[in-house]
Structure 1
Amino acid sequence: MAWAPNPPNFYRQFTSENLERLDQWKKEHCSELDKNGDASISLLNLPAELRYLVPPSTPPNGDYRLFGVTRTTRDYLRPLEEQGITQLYPPTTSIHTPDRGVHLRQLTRSILLSFLELIGILSQNPSEIERKQEEIKTMFLNALHLINEYRPHQARESLILRMEDEIERGRAEVDEIKRLKTKVEGLVKAADEDAVMADAGAPLNGLVNGEPNGIHRSGSEETGDLRVQRAIWDLLNTELSGS
Protein backbone atom coordinates (compact mmCIF):
# COMPACT_ATOMS: atom_id res chain seq x y z
CA MET A 1 0.00 0.00 0.00
CA ALA A 2 1.28 3.44 -0.92
CA TRP A 3 1.92 5.94 1.88
CA ALA A 4 -0.13 8.55 -0.01
CA PRO A 5 -2.99 8.31 -2.52
CA ASN A 6 -2.19 8.65 -6.20
CA PRO A 7 -2.79 12.06 -7.80
CA PRO A 8 -5.88 12.46 -9.98
CA ASN A 9 -5.47 11.26 -13.55
CA PHE A 10 -6.02 14.69 -15.09
CA TYR A 11 -2.58 15.84 -13.92
CA ARG A 12 -1.27 14.16 -17.07
CA GLN A 13 -3.03 16.85 -19.13
CA PHE A 14 -0.75 19.61 -17.78
CA THR A 15 1.85 19.41 -20.54
CA SER A 16 3.68 22.11 -22.48
CA GLU A 17 1.87 21.08 -25.64
CA ASN A 18 -1.56 21.46 -24.05
CA LEU A 19 -0.60 24.82 -22.56
CA GLU A 20 0.42 26.06 -26.01
CA ARG A 21 -2.85 24.78 -27.45
CA LEU A 22 -4.80 26.61 -24.73
CA ASP A 23 -2.91 29.84 -25.46
CA GLN A 24 -3.67 29.43 -29.15
CA TRP A 25 -7.34 28.87 -28.39
CA LYS A 26 -7.41 32.06 -26.28
CA LYS A 27 -5.85 34.06 -29.12
CA GLU A 28 -8.48 32.79 -31.53
CA HIS A 29 -11.22 33.86 -29.11
CA CYS A 30 -9.49 37.03 -27.86
CA SER A 31 -12.46 39.28 -28.62
CA GLU A 32 -14.69 37.35 -26.27
CA LEU A 33 -12.00 37.14 -23.58
CA ASP A 34 -11.31 40.90 -23.72
CA LYS A 35 -14.94 41.58 -22.90
CA ASN A 36 -15.55 39.03 -20.16
CA GLY A 37 -12.16 37.68 -19.08
CA ASP A 38 -11.10 34.08 -18.54
CA ALA A 39 -14.31 33.33 -16.67
CA SER A 40 -16.19 33.51 -19.99
CA ILE A 41 -14.37 30.45 -21.31
CA SER A 42 -16.95 27.73 -21.80
CA LEU A 43 -15.48 24.41 -20.79
CA LEU A 44 -17.85 22.63 -23.15
CA ASN A 45 -16.29 24.47 -26.11
CA LEU A 46 -12.81 23.27 -25.19
CA PRO A 47 -11.35 19.86 -26.03
CA ALA A 48 -11.52 17.42 -23.15
CA GLU A 49 -7.75 17.46 -22.57
CA LEU A 50 -7.74 21.28 -22.22
CA ARG A 51 -10.64 21.69 -19.82
CA TYR A 52 -8.57 20.94 -16.73
CA LEU A 53 -6.10 23.71 -17.62
CA VAL A 54 -8.66 26.48 -17.10
CA PRO A 55 -8.49 27.72 -13.47
CA PRO A 56 -11.75 28.13 -11.57
CA SER A 57 -13.27 31.58 -11.35
CA THR A 58 -12.93 33.70 -8.23
CA PRO A 59 -15.66 32.99 -5.64
CA PRO A 60 -18.27 35.73 -6.06
CA ASN A 61 -19.16 35.96 -2.36
CA GLY A 62 -15.83 34.96 -0.82
CA ASP A 63 -16.93 31.44 0.19
CA TYR A 64 -15.63 28.25 -1.39
CA ARG A 65 -15.38 24.55 -0.63
CA LEU A 66 -12.06 22.79 -0.05
CA PHE A 67 -12.07 19.03 0.51
CA GLY A 68 -15.72 19.20 1.45
CA VAL A 69 -15.24 22.02 3.99
CA THR A 70 -16.71 25.48 3.39
CA ARG A 71 -14.06 28.17 3.71
CA THR A 72 -14.01 31.91 3.20
CA THR A 73 -11.58 34.46 1.79
CA ARG A 74 -12.75 37.08 4.27
CA ASP A 75 -10.16 37.86 6.92
CA TYR A 76 -11.96 37.73 10.24
CA LEU A 77 -11.95 35.60 13.36
CA ARG A 78 -14.97 33.36 13.47
CA PRO A 79 -16.69 33.09 16.87
CA LEU A 80 -16.32 29.81 18.70
CA GLU A 81 -20.04 29.14 18.43
CA GLU A 82 -19.86 29.22 14.63
CA GLN A 83 -17.09 26.61 14.79
CA GLY A 84 -19.11 24.32 17.03
CA ILE A 85 -16.86 24.92 20.04
CA THR A 86 -18.13 25.66 23.54
CA GLN A 87 -16.99 29.09 24.74
CA LEU A 88 -15.74 28.86 28.33
CA TYR A 89 -15.35 32.59 28.98
CA PRO A 90 -18.02 35.34 28.91
CA PRO A 91 -18.88 36.78 25.49
CA THR A 92 -17.47 40.10 24.39
CA THR A 93 -20.86 41.78 24.77
CA SER A 94 -21.09 40.82 28.45
CA ILE A 95 -20.70 43.65 30.95
CA HIS A 96 -18.79 41.27 33.25
CA THR A 97 -16.03 40.55 30.72
CA PRO A 98 -12.63 41.46 32.27
CA ASP A 99 -9.30 41.62 30.51
CA ARG A 100 -8.48 38.73 28.14
CA GLY A 101 -5.29 38.13 30.06
CA VAL A 102 -7.34 37.10 33.10
CA HIS A 103 -9.17 34.48 31.04
CA LEU A 104 -5.89 33.19 29.59
CA ARG A 105 -4.45 32.69 33.07
CA GLN A 106 -7.61 30.94 34.22
CA LEU A 107 -7.61 28.64 31.21
CA THR A 108 -3.92 27.84 31.73
CA ARG A 109 -4.55 26.82 35.34
CA SER A 110 -7.57 24.77 34.29
CA ILE A 111 -5.53 22.97 31.63
CA LEU A 112 -2.83 22.07 34.16
CA LEU A 113 -5.41 20.83 36.65
CA SER A 114 -7.25 18.84 33.97
CA PHE A 115 -3.97 17.23 32.91
CA LEU A 116 -3.39 16.03 36.48
CA GLU A 117 -6.94 14.68 36.53
CA LEU A 118 -6.25 12.94 33.22
CA ILE A 119 -3.28 11.15 34.76
CA GLY A 120 -5.47 10.01 37.65
CA ILE A 121 -8.14 8.74 35.24
CA LEU A 122 -5.54 6.75 33.30
CA SER A 123 -4.51 4.99 36.51
CA GLN A 124 -8.03 4.31 37.78
CA ASN A 125 -10.63 4.31 34.99
CA PRO A 126 -9.11 4.56 31.48
CA SER A 127 -12.56 4.23 29.86
CA GLU A 128 -13.35 7.87 30.76
CA ILE A 129 -10.24 9.28 29.15
CA GLU A 130 -12.05 10.51 26.02
CA ARG A 131 -14.31 12.84 28.00
CA LYS A 132 -11.36 14.43 29.78
CA GLN A 133 -9.44 14.73 26.52
CA GLU A 134 -12.34 16.63 24.96
CA GLU A 135 -12.43 18.97 27.94
CA ILE A 136 -8.72 19.72 27.61
CA LYS A 137 -9.10 20.19 23.85
CA THR A 138 -11.92 22.70 24.39
CA MET A 139 -9.78 24.63 26.88
CA PHE A 140 -6.88 24.79 24.43
CA LEU A 141 -9.16 26.00 21.62
CA ASN A 142 -10.58 28.72 23.86
CA ALA A 143 -7.07 29.84 24.83
CA LEU A 144 -5.95 29.92 21.19
CA HIS A 145 -9.05 31.92 20.26
CA LEU A 146 -8.25 34.50 22.93
CA ILE A 147 -4.67 34.74 21.64
CA ASN A 148 -5.89 35.17 18.05
CA GLU A 149 -8.04 38.10 19.15
CA TYR A 150 -4.77 39.94 19.76
CA ARG A 151 -3.60 39.41 16.16
CA PRO A 152 -5.03 42.70 14.79
CA HIS A 153 -3.35 44.59 17.63
CA GLN A 154 -0.09 42.73 16.97
CA ALA A 155 -0.25 43.55 13.26
CA ARG A 156 -0.94 47.22 14.01
CA GLU A 157 1.95 47.47 16.47
CA SER A 158 4.29 45.69 14.04
CA LEU A 159 3.35 48.17 11.33
CA ILE A 160 3.94 51.09 13.71
CA LEU A 161 7.40 49.77 14.62
CA ARG A 162 8.30 49.30 10.98
CA MET A 163 7.16 52.82 10.08
CA GLU A 164 9.13 54.24 13.00
CA ASP A 165 12.23 52.39 11.78
CA GLU A 166 11.75 53.83 8.30
CA ILE A 167 11.37 57.34 9.72
CA GLU A 168 14.52 56.96 11.84
CA ARG A 169 16.44 55.63 8.85
CA GLY A 170 15.29 58.59 6.75
CA ARG A 171 16.28 61.06 9.45
CA ALA A 172 19.72 59.45 9.74
CA GLU A 173 20.21 59.77 5.99
CA VAL A 174 19.16 63.43 6.07
CA ASP A 175 21.58 64.13 8.94
CA GLU A 176 24.38 62.39 7.03
CA ILE A 177 23.65 64.47 3.92
CA LYS A 178 23.68 67.66 5.99
CA ARG A 179 27.02 66.68 7.53
CA LEU A 180 28.55 66.04 4.10
CA LYS A 181 27.08 69.30 2.84
CA THR A 182 28.78 71.18 5.68
CA LYS A 183 32.15 69.58 4.88
CA VAL A 184 31.84 70.33 1.16
CA GLU A 185 30.86 73.92 1.87
CA GLY A 186 33.94 74.24 4.08
CA LEU A 187 36.19 73.01 1.28
CA VAL A 188 34.58 75.36 -1.25
CA LYS A 189 34.85 78.30 1.13
CA ALA A 190 38.52 77.59 1.75
CA ALA A 191 39.11 77.38 -2.00
CA ASP A 192 37.34 80.71 -2.55
CA GLU A 193 39.52 82.37 0.08
CA ASP A 194 42.65 81.00 -1.58
CA ALA A 195 41.44 82.24 -4.97
CA VAL A 196 40.76 85.74 -3.60
CA MET A 197 44.24 85.92 -2.12
CA ALA A 198 45.76 84.74 -5.41
CA ASP A 199 43.75 87.30 -7.40
CA ALA A 200 44.90 90.11 -5.11
CA GLY A 201 48.52 89.46 -6.01
CA ALA A 202 48.00 88.60 -9.71
CA PRO A 203 48.66 91.20 -12.53
CA LEU A 204 45.89 92.38 -14.84
CA ASN A 205 46.92 90.71 -18.07
CA GLY A 206 43.58 90.50 -19.87
CA LEU A 207 44.32 93.29 -22.37
CA VAL A 208 47.92 92.28 -22.90
CA ASN A 209 46.89 88.86 -24.15
CA GLY A 210 44.02 90.26 -26.18
CA GLU A 211 41.33 89.10 -23.75
CA PRO A 212 38.54 91.69 -23.58
CA ASN A 213 36.81 90.16 -20.52
CA GLY A 214 39.28 91.15 -17.82
CA ILE A 215 41.58 88.98 -15.72
CA HIS A 216 42.99 85.87 -17.35
CA ARG A 217 43.08 82.77 -15.12
CA SER A 218 46.57 81.70 -14.23
CA GLY A 219 47.82 78.13 -14.07
CA SER A 220 48.02 78.23 -10.27
CA GLU A 221 44.31 79.10 -10.03
CA GLU A 222 43.33 76.21 -12.28
CA THR A 223 45.51 73.88 -10.24
CA GLY A 224 43.79 75.10 -7.08
CA ASP A 225 40.34 74.36 -8.55
CA LEU A 226 41.41 70.84 -9.47
CA ARG A 227 42.78 70.36 -5.98
CA VAL A 228 39.44 71.39 -4.45
CA GLN A 229 37.50 69.08 -6.78
CA ARG A 230 39.75 66.16 -5.91
CA ALA A 231 39.36 66.93 -2.22
CA ILE A 232 35.57 66.95 -2.55
CA TRP A 233 35.54 63.64 -4.45
CA ASP A 234 37.92 62.07 -1.93
CA LEU A 235 35.67 63.22 0.88
CA LEU A 236 32.56 61.78 -0.77
CA ASN A 237 34.29 58.49 -1.58
CA THR A 238 35.52 58.14 1.99
CA GLU A 239 32.17 58.92 3.55
CA LEU A 240 30.05 56.84 1.17
CA SER A 241 32.34 53.82 1.23
CA GLY A 242 32.25 53.77 5.00
CA SER A 243 28.44 54.04 5.23
Structure 2
Amino acid sequence: MTDASQQPAVPTAFAPPPPLWKHFTRENLDELEKIKNEASKGEDGRINRNKQWSSSELRALDVPPELRFLVPPEIPTGQYSVFGELQSLSTTLPSLKEQGIEQLYPEPETDTSHDPSKPSPLNHAYYLLKISKSLLLNFLEFVGVLSVSPEQFESKVEDMRNLFINAHHLLNLYRPHQARESLIMMMEEQLHRTKDEIEQMDKVKADIESVLDQLEAEGRQVGSVEQLDHASDSKEAARRTIEDRRLVWDLLDQEK
Protein backbone atom coordinates (compact mmCIF):
# COMPACT_ATOMS: atom_id res chain seq x y z
CA MET A 1 0.00 0.00 0.00
CA THR A 2 1.13 3.53 -0.65
CA ASP A 3 1.82 5.83 2.23
CA ALA A 4 -1.07 8.24 2.81
CA SER A 5 1.38 10.97 3.76
CA GLN A 6 2.95 10.91 0.30
CA GLN A 7 1.51 13.51 -2.05
CA PRO A 8 0.76 12.24 -5.54
CA ALA A 9 2.93 13.71 -8.25
CA VAL A 10 1.10 16.40 -10.17
CA PRO A 11 1.95 16.32 -13.87
CA THR A 12 2.69 19.59 -15.61
CA ALA A 13 -0.14 21.22 -17.54
CA PHE A 14 2.07 21.76 -20.59
CA ALA A 15 5.05 19.89 -21.95
CA PRO A 16 8.43 21.53 -21.27
CA PRO A 17 9.95 23.50 -24.16
CA PRO A 18 12.54 21.75 -26.32
CA PRO A 19 16.12 22.15 -25.07
CA LEU A 20 17.19 24.00 -28.21
CA TRP A 21 15.89 27.30 -26.76
CA LYS A 22 19.01 27.41 -24.56
CA HIS A 23 21.11 28.09 -27.66
CA PHE A 24 19.28 31.36 -28.38
CA THR A 25 21.65 33.53 -26.34
CA ARG A 26 23.09 36.95 -27.07
CA GLU A 27 26.60 35.45 -27.44
CA ASN A 28 25.42 32.92 -30.04
CA LEU A 29 23.46 35.55 -31.94
CA ASP A 30 26.52 37.84 -32.05
CA GLU A 31 28.70 34.92 -33.19
CA LEU A 32 26.25 34.09 -35.98
CA GLU A 33 26.23 37.74 -37.02
CA LYS A 34 30.05 37.70 -37.26
CA ILE A 35 29.94 34.59 -39.46
CA LYS A 36 27.37 36.25 -41.71
CA ASN A 37 29.52 39.39 -41.98
CA GLU A 38 32.58 37.33 -42.89
CA ALA A 39 30.61 35.45 -45.55
CA SER A 40 29.20 38.65 -47.04
CA LYS A 41 32.60 40.26 -47.64
CA GLY A 42 33.23 41.24 -51.21
CA GLU A 43 36.41 41.15 -53.24
CA ASP A 44 37.41 44.54 -51.85
CA GLY A 45 37.04 43.27 -48.28
CA ARG A 46 34.00 45.40 -47.47
CA ILE A 47 31.13 43.88 -45.48
CA ASN A 48 27.72 44.01 -47.14
CA ARG A 49 25.55 44.69 -44.10
CA ASN A 50 22.42 45.19 -46.25
CA LYS A 51 22.48 41.63 -47.59
CA GLN A 52 19.19 39.81 -47.15
CA TRP A 53 19.99 36.24 -46.15
CA SER A 54 17.65 33.49 -47.30
CA SER A 55 17.13 30.28 -45.34
CA SER A 56 19.03 28.22 -47.92
CA GLU A 57 22.01 30.60 -47.80
CA LEU A 58 22.09 30.46 -44.00
CA ARG A 59 21.98 26.67 -44.06
CA ALA A 60 24.93 26.67 -46.49
CA LEU A 61 27.14 28.57 -44.02
CA ASP A 62 29.79 26.70 -42.08
CA VAL A 63 28.62 27.31 -38.51
CA PRO A 64 29.38 25.43 -35.29
CA PRO A 65 26.86 22.81 -34.07
CA GLU A 66 25.57 25.06 -31.27
CA LEU A 67 24.63 27.71 -33.86
CA ARG A 68 22.76 25.32 -36.13
CA PHE A 69 19.62 25.80 -34.07
CA LEU A 70 19.65 29.52 -34.97
CA VAL A 71 19.43 28.76 -38.69
CA PRO A 72 15.84 28.37 -39.99
CA PRO A 73 15.10 24.81 -41.12
CA GLU A 74 13.76 23.88 -44.51
CA ILE A 75 10.08 24.40 -45.16
CA PRO A 76 8.37 21.03 -44.72
CA THR A 77 6.68 19.51 -47.73
CA GLY A 78 4.22 16.69 -48.19
CA GLN A 79 2.80 15.39 -44.91
CA TYR A 80 3.54 15.70 -41.22
CA SER A 81 2.44 13.69 -38.20
CA VAL A 82 0.34 15.12 -35.35
CA PHE A 83 -0.40 12.73 -32.48
CA GLY A 84 0.23 9.80 -34.83
CA GLU A 85 -2.14 11.10 -37.53
CA LEU A 86 -0.76 12.21 -40.88
CA GLN A 87 -1.72 15.72 -41.93
CA SER A 88 -1.24 17.20 -45.39
CA LEU A 89 0.35 20.60 -45.94
CA SER A 90 -1.78 21.19 -49.01
CA THR A 91 -4.49 23.80 -48.55
CA THR A 92 -6.69 22.16 -51.20
CA LEU A 93 -9.72 20.55 -49.60
CA PRO A 94 -10.09 16.94 -50.81
CA SER A 95 -13.48 16.07 -52.24
CA LEU A 96 -15.83 13.59 -50.63
CA LYS A 97 -15.43 11.24 -53.57
CA GLU A 98 -11.67 11.14 -52.98
CA GLN A 99 -12.37 10.14 -49.38
CA GLY A 100 -14.79 7.41 -50.42
CA ILE A 101 -17.88 9.18 -49.05
CA GLU A 102 -21.15 9.65 -50.93
CA GLN A 103 -21.63 13.25 -51.98
CA LEU A 104 -25.22 14.48 -51.59
CA TYR A 105 -24.86 17.78 -53.43
CA PRO A 106 -23.85 18.35 -57.07
CA GLU A 107 -20.49 19.51 -58.27
CA PRO A 108 -20.25 23.15 -59.40
CA GLU A 109 -21.17 23.29 -63.08
CA THR A 110 -18.93 24.93 -65.62
CA ASP A 111 -20.26 28.29 -66.76
CA THR A 112 -19.57 28.23 -70.50
CA SER A 113 -21.14 31.65 -71.10
CA HIS A 114 -18.30 33.53 -69.36
CA ASP A 115 -15.26 31.40 -68.71
CA PRO A 116 -15.31 27.65 -69.50
CA SER A 117 -12.46 26.97 -67.06
CA LYS A 118 -14.15 28.74 -64.14
CA PRO A 119 -16.94 26.79 -62.40
CA SER A 120 -20.09 28.55 -61.33
CA PRO A 121 -20.46 29.18 -57.60
CA LEU A 122 -22.32 26.61 -55.54
CA ASN A 123 -25.34 27.71 -53.50
CA HIS A 124 -24.07 26.51 -50.13
CA ALA A 125 -27.01 27.90 -48.15
CA TYR A 126 -29.57 26.07 -50.29
CA TYR A 127 -27.95 22.66 -49.91
CA LEU A 128 -27.15 23.21 -46.24
CA LEU A 129 -30.84 23.90 -45.64
CA LYS A 130 -31.81 20.72 -47.54
CA ILE A 131 -29.31 18.67 -45.53
CA SER A 132 -30.60 20.14 -42.28
CA LYS A 133 -34.17 19.18 -43.17
CA SER A 134 -32.98 15.69 -44.16
CA LEU A 135 -31.23 15.38 -40.80
CA LEU A 136 -34.44 16.20 -38.94
CA LEU A 137 -36.39 13.69 -41.02
CA ASN A 138 -33.74 10.97 -40.54
CA PHE A 139 -33.66 11.61 -36.82
CA LEU A 140 -37.42 11.12 -36.58
CA GLU A 141 -37.09 7.92 -38.59
CA PHE A 142 -34.23 6.84 -36.32
CA VAL A 143 -36.42 7.34 -33.23
CA GLY A 144 -39.19 5.33 -34.93
CA VAL A 145 -36.78 2.49 -35.75
CA LEU A 146 -35.55 2.40 -32.15
CA SER A 147 -39.13 2.13 -30.91
CA VAL A 148 -40.06 -0.71 -33.29
CA SER A 149 -36.91 -2.73 -34.02
CA PRO A 150 -33.80 -1.31 -32.26
CA GLU A 151 -31.51 -3.87 -33.91
CA GLN A 152 -31.93 -2.07 -37.26
CA PHE A 153 -30.44 1.22 -36.12
CA GLU A 154 -27.17 0.95 -38.05
CA SER A 155 -28.52 2.03 -41.43
CA LYS A 156 -30.11 5.19 -40.02
CA VAL A 157 -26.98 6.04 -38.05
CA GLU A 158 -24.93 5.69 -41.22
CA ASP A 159 -27.37 7.93 -43.11
CA MET A 160 -27.16 10.64 -40.44
CA ARG A 161 -23.38 10.30 -40.35
CA ASN A 162 -23.23 10.82 -44.12
CA LEU A 163 -25.48 13.87 -43.85
CA PHE A 164 -23.31 15.41 -41.12
CA ILE A 165 -20.14 14.80 -43.15
CA ASN A 166 -21.67 16.45 -46.22
CA ALA A 167 -22.81 19.45 -44.18
CA HIS A 168 -19.36 19.76 -42.62
CA HIS A 169 -17.72 19.54 -46.05
CA LEU A 170 -20.01 22.23 -47.44
CA LEU A 171 -19.06 24.52 -44.55
CA ASN A 172 -15.38 23.88 -45.22
CA LEU A 173 -15.91 24.76 -48.88
CA TYR A 174 -17.26 28.10 -47.70
CA ARG A 175 -14.14 28.86 -45.61
CA PRO A 176 -12.18 30.70 -48.35
CA HIS A 177 -15.12 33.04 -48.95
CA GLN A 178 -15.48 33.56 -45.20
CA ALA A 179 -11.76 34.32 -44.86
CA ARG A 180 -11.92 36.81 -47.75
CA GLU A 181 -14.96 38.59 -46.32
CA SER A 182 -13.37 38.67 -42.85
CA LEU A 183 -10.23 40.21 -44.33
CA ILE A 184 -12.31 42.81 -46.18
CA MET A 185 -14.14 43.68 -42.96
CA MET A 186 -10.88 43.99 -41.03
CA MET A 187 -9.40 46.27 -43.71
CA GLU A 188 -12.54 48.43 -43.74
CA GLU A 189 -12.42 48.75 -39.94
CA GLN A 190 -8.75 49.69 -40.13
CA LEU A 191 -9.54 52.26 -42.84
CA HIS A 192 -12.35 53.80 -40.75
CA ARG A 193 -10.09 53.88 -37.70
CA THR A 194 -7.33 55.57 -39.70
CA LYS A 195 -9.78 58.14 -41.06
CA ASP A 196 -11.01 58.90 -37.54
CA GLU A 197 -7.43 59.37 -36.35
CA ILE A 198 -6.71 61.70 -39.28
CA GLU A 199 -9.83 63.73 -38.49
CA GLN A 200 -8.78 64.02 -34.84
CA MET A 201 -5.29 65.11 -35.89
CA ASP A 202 -6.77 67.73 -38.24
CA LYS A 203 -8.95 68.99 -35.39
CA VAL A 204 -5.98 69.24 -33.02
CA LYS A 205 -3.99 70.98 -35.76
CA ALA A 206 -6.80 73.53 -36.27
CA ASP A 207 -7.00 74.16 -32.51
CA ILE A 208 -3.24 74.71 -32.30
CA GLU A 209 -3.29 77.04 -35.31
CA SER A 210 -6.10 79.08 -33.75
CA VAL A 211 -4.15 79.35 -30.48
CA LEU A 212 -1.00 80.41 -32.37
CA ASP A 213 -2.96 83.02 -34.34
CA GLN A 214 -4.40 84.37 -31.09
CA LEU A 215 -0.96 84.55 -29.51
CA GLU A 216 0.41 86.27 -32.61
CA ALA A 217 -2.39 88.84 -32.51
CA GLU A 218 -1.77 89.50 -28.82
CA GLY A 219 1.95 89.84 -29.54
CA ARG A 220 1.23 92.44 -32.23
CA GLN A 221 -0.92 94.41 -29.82
CA VAL A 222 1.79 94.33 -27.19
CA GLY A 223 4.37 95.38 -29.80
CA SER A 224 2.25 98.33 -30.94
CA VAL A 225 1.80 99.50 -27.35
CA GLU A 226 5.55 99.26 -26.76
CA GLN A 227 6.18 101.24 -29.93
CA LEU A 228 3.79 103.97 -28.76
CA ASP A 229 5.49 104.07 -25.37
CA HIS A 230 8.88 104.27 -27.04
CA ALA A 231 7.69 107.09 -29.30
CA SER A 232 6.28 109.06 -26.37
CA ASP A 233 9.55 108.56 -24.45
CA SER A 234 11.52 109.88 -27.44
CA LYS A 235 9.32 112.97 -27.67
CA GLU A 236 9.75 113.63 -23.97
CA ALA A 237 13.52 113.27 -24.25
CA ALA A 238 13.62 115.66 -27.22
CA ARG A 239 11.51 118.22 -25.34
CA ARG A 240 13.83 118.02 -22.33
CA THR A 241 16.88 118.49 -24.57
CA ILE A 242 15.37 121.60 -26.13
CA GLU A 243 14.54 123.01 -22.72
CA ASP A 244 18.07 122.34 -21.48
CA ARG A 245 19.55 124.14 -24.49
CA ARG A 246 17.24 127.09 -23.98
CA LEU A 247 18.30 127.28 -20.32
CA VAL A 248 21.96 127.24 -21.34
CA TRP A 249 21.40 130.05 -23.85
CA ASP A 250 19.53 132.10 -21.22
CA LEU A 251 22.42 131.72 -18.78
CA LEU A 252 24.90 132.83 -21.44
CA ASP A 253 22.78 135.90 -22.22
CA GLN A 254 22.71 136.84 -18.53
CA GLU A 255 26.53 136.61 -18.29
CA LYS A 256 26.85 139.06 -21.10
TM-score w.r.t. the length of structure 2 is 0.55
User: What's the CA shift for 1:187?
Assistant: 1.2
1:64 alignment partner, SS class: strand
CA distance in structure 2 between the aligned counterparts of 1:195 and 1:88, rounded to whole angstroms? 83
Amino acid at match of 1:70: L
2:144 paired residue among 117, 120, 126: 120
Structure ranking higher on relative contact order (CA contacts 8 Å, 6+ apart)? 1
CA distance in structure 2 between the aligned counterparts of 1:97 and 1:156, rounded to whole angstroms? 15
2:86 paired residue among 70, 87, 92: 70
Aligned to 1:169: 193
1:101 paired residue among 125, 130, 143: 125
CA distance in structure 1 between the aligned counterparts of 2:207 and 2:77, rounded to whole angstroms? 62
User: What's the CA shift for 1:94?
Assistant: 6.7
Q: Compare the two structures and name the one with the higher helix fraction.
A: 1
TM-score w.r.t. the length of structure 1 is 0.58
What stretches of structure 2 of length at least 5 have no aligned partner?
1-14, 36-56, 66-72, 112-119, 235-256
For the pair 1:91 / 2:115, whether they are aligned, the reply is no
Amino acid at match of 1:143: A
Aligned to 2:96: 80
Amino acid at match of 1:114: N
1:153 paired residue among 163, 169, 177: 177
User: What's the CA shift for 1:170?
Assistant: 0.9
Amino acid at match of 1:172: D
CA distance in structure 1 between the aligned counterparts of 2:141 and 2:18, rounded to whole angstroms? 58
1:186 paired residue among 202, 210, 232: 210
1:147 alignment partner, SS class: helix
CA distance in structure 2 between the aligned counterparts of 1:188 and 1:97, rounded to whole angstroms? 60
Aligned to 1:232: none
Amino acid at match of 2:98: E
CA distance in structure 2 between the aligned counterparts of 1:97 and 1:74, rounded to whole angstroms? 22
CA distance in structure 1 between the aligned counterparts of 2:22 and 2:137, rounded to whole angstroms? 63
CA distance in structure 2 between the aligned counterparts of 1:59 and 1:185, rounded to whole angstroms? 55
Aligned residue pairs total 171
Closer, same or farther: CA 152–112 of 1 in aligned 2, 3 Å: same
Closer, same or farther: CA 155–187 of 1 in aligned 2, 3 Å: same
Closer, same or farther: CA 197–109 of 1 in aligned 2, 3 Å: same
Q: Where does 1:20-99 land on structure 2 (aligned, <5 Å)?
A: 35-36=59-60, 60-66=76-82, 69-93=85-109, 99=123
Aligned to 1:240: none
What stretches of structure 1 of length at least 5 have no aligned partner?
1-10, 42-56, 209-243
Aligned to 2:159: 135
The percentage of counterpart residues that share the same residue type is: 31
Closer, same or farther: CA 89–64 of 1 in aligned 2, 3 Å: same
Deviations 1:21-80 (A, max 9, x none): 9x9xx9xxx99x96458xxx9xxxxxxxxxxxxxxx767532234455432112222111
1:106 alignment partner, SS class: helix
Amino acid at match of 1:107: I
Amino acid at match of 1:174: I
Q: Where does 1:189-200 land on structure 2 (aligned, <5 Å)?
A: 189-200=213-224
CA distance in structure 2 between the aligned counterparts of 1:190 and 1:135, rounded to whole angstroms? 81
Contact map agreement 2:108 2:122 (CA 8 A) in 1: no
